[in-house]
Amino acid sequence: MIYLDHAATSWPKPPEVLAAMQNFLERAGGNPGRSGHRLSIAAGRVVYDTREALADFFGISDPLRVLFTLNATHALNLALQGLLKPGERVITGGMEHNAVMRPLRELEKRGIKVEIVPADKTGTLAPAAFTAALEGGARLVVLNHASNVCGTIAPVKEIAALAHAAGSLVLVDAAQTAGVLPLHLTEMGVDLLAFTGHKALQGPPGTGGLVLADSFDPAQLNPLIRGGTGSRSEFETQPDDLPDRYESGTPNGVGLAGLGAGLAWIQTRGLESLRAHELGLTARLREGLENIKGVHLYGPADPQLSTAVISFAIEGKRVSEIGYRLDEEHEIFCRVGLHCAPAAHRSLGSFPEGTVRLAPGPLTALEDIETIIRALARIAAT
């Protein structure tokens, strides 16, 4: 079988990830920060080691500014609900996932003003459009770094500079780019970055986080939940210390052990090498699909402008039929439909039917791509 759903979650996980998780449960299965015995200390060390590695990966100096969450959606909700107050304004783009749009629509009911800057038919955002939007002032600009539908990479650095010049904070949803592109918060000009562990970072589900730039004042951000942290237990109020202010309840220690191993796996191979491999696959896949009669491709034509995500449709065929036939007839696994991003599909012109999404990963081979092209040629012709 050929797995082409890495934009949803990476699979298979590297053996090092599975080994790290098993080792945690066998040798460090205590509750991190909740006890003084050796199992708790060992578990706490694993959690901190992963936090420290991620801080270095994202280019911040203080590991305590990596706040662990369940996933990117959890992290985005922490940022959006913790920052925005009634009467304030937030600006976002036309390619957002529902992990951003649903919290924003809920906050809209509470008096938050939401403005959406349109994207073009390739999913591209123009910085100049944000200049106009920012003239009215905004508390926050929130951006999808790369579309989960068609892979288009947003010009985050340019938009962030405009936002800061206008006095706005910048939050980036890096669910599709953490583990794919270099992410250095200072160089990007980003104040907060949400990431997930189970996609390109090669970790397990249930891991992710919100990264606070060194320049960001945490006093601006209210916790999403409150409860036990293992610290300041004499008080019934939430501690102000990082990361405890935002990390209530027992952390996913075994998951974070796996995430740390996934990050190490990526760094051993090198982001540039992994990116080059996926660019080669994407370029060949686009080329092959362009030569199939009836195929309509979405997103930028240049693979350099996107992640390894390709969306398409075939004239006269429902996307659900294409996905079913790829699975049943060819054992090729993809995703079809709206991909939890109706705003992006409206921008691309593929709403409400959606698209077929192919998302190769680091272990996808060029031979797999040739097999997929042949399979889609047969499906388009019959």
Q: What is the CATH number of the domain that holds 308?
A: 3.90.1150.10
Residues 28 and 123 in one domain: yes
What confidence tens digit (pLDDT) does each residue in 14-42 have? 999 999 999 999 998 888 888 889 899 99
Residues 98 and 219 in one domain: yes
What confidence tens digit (pLDDT) does each residue in 337-365 have? 999 999 999 999 999 999 999 999 999 99
- In which region does residue 61 sit, left (phi positive, over 0), alpha (psi from -120 to 50) or beta (all else)? alpha
Q: Inform me whether the pLDDT recorded for 261 exceeds 90.
A: yes
Residues 191 and 314 in one domain: no
Query: Sorting pLDDT into bands at 50, 70 and 90, what band is 100?
Result: very high
Residues 63 and 167 in one domain: yes
DSSP code of residue 125: P
Average pLDDT value for residue range 140-155: 98
Residues 154 and 237 in one domain: yes
pLDDT at residue 231, rounded to an integer: 85
Residues 285 and 195 in one domain: no
| pTM, rounded to two decimals | 0.96
- Domain end point (choices 268, 298, 324): 268
**Domain around 338:** 2-10+270-381
Contact (CB, 8 A) for 174 and 201: no
Q: Inform me whether the pLDDT recorded for 310 exceeds 90.
A: yes
pLDDT at residue 35, rounded to an integer: 81
Q: In this prediction, what percent of the chain has a pLDDT beyond 90?
A: 93
CA distance 242 to 234: 17
- Domain end point (choices 268, 295, 320): 268
The burial class, CB within 10 Å (0-12 / 13-18 / 19+), for 301 is exposed
Residues 154 and 244 in one domain: yes
Query: Sorting pLDDT into bands at 50, 70 and 90, what band is 303?
Result: very high
Residue tagged 């992006």 (tokens): 344
CA distance 211 to 68: 9
What confidence tens digit (pLDDT) does each residue in 228-255 have? 888 888 888 999 999 999 999 999 999 9
The more confident residue out of 29 and 197 is: 197
Instruction: Please list, in sequence order, all residues whose beta carbon lies within 8 angstroms of the beta carbon of residue 50, skipping any fewer than 6 positions away.
Output: 256, 257, 259, 260, 263
Residues 187 and 289 in one domain: no
Distances from the Cα of 34 to the Cαs of 42, 69, 121, 319, in angstroms? 12, 18, 51, 50
Average pLDDT value for residue range 140-163: 98
Q: Inform me whether the pLDDT recorded for 144 exceeds 90.
A: yes
CA distance 126 to 120: 8
Residues 75 and 108 in one domain: yes
Average pLDDT value for residue range 81-101: 98
Instruction: Please list, in sequence order, all residues whose beta carbon lies within 8 angstroms of the beta carbon of residue 46, skipping any fewer than 6 positions away.
Output: 24, 28, 32, 253, 256, 257, 260
The burial class, CB within 10 Å (0-12 / 13-18 / 19+), for 121 is exposed
Residues 313 and 331 in one domain: yes
Residues 6 and 58 in one domain: no
User: Shortest CA distance to 157 belongs to which of 181, 123, 136, 139?
Assistant: 181
pLDDT at residue 295, rounded to an integer: 98
- Domain end point (choices 268, 300, 323): 268
Number of domains in the chain: 2
Question: Could you give the 3-state DSSP secondary structure of residue 31?
Answer: coil
Average pLDDT value for residue range 48-72: 98
Contact (CB, 8 A) for 123 and 344: yes
Residue 256: give its domain's CATH number.
3.40.640.10
Residues 140 and 200 in one domain: yes
pLDDT at residue 232, rounded to an integer: 86
